[in-house]
């Protein structure tokens, strides 16, 4: 009986995860969905933190 509950719970969680991937907006860290304008009038889509390169 417990195994059916565990399988059902895992199935429900996997369906919720797939639904979340399809419904929720995904994105890249530091990239804005809408462009924004700075004080100087330049339009950007990336945050300031994206300018710090690791390499």
pLDDT of residue 53: 63
Task: Quick: pLDDT tens for 21-39.
Answer: 888 766 666 677 788 788 8
Is the pLDDT at 16 greater than 90? The verdict is yes
CB neighbour class for 31 (10 Å; exposed up to 12, middle 13-18, buried from 19): exposed
Cβ contact 27:20 at 8 Å? no
The CA-based diameter of the chain, rounded to the nearest angstrom, is 66
DSSP codes of every residue in 18-34 = HHHHHHSPP--TTEEEE
Using CA atoms in the order 33, 38, 44, 46, what is the torsion angle rounded to 10 degrees? -70
pLDDT of residue 54: 63
Is the pLDDT at 48 greater than 80? The verdict is no
């Amino acid at each position: 009986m417990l195994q059916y509950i565990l399988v059902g719970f895992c199935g429900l969680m996997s369906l919720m995860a797939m639904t979340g991937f399809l419904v929720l907006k995904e994105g890249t860290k530091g990239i804005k969905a809408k462009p924004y304008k700075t004080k100087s009038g330049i339009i950007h889509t990336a945050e300031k933190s994206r300018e710090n390169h690791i390499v």
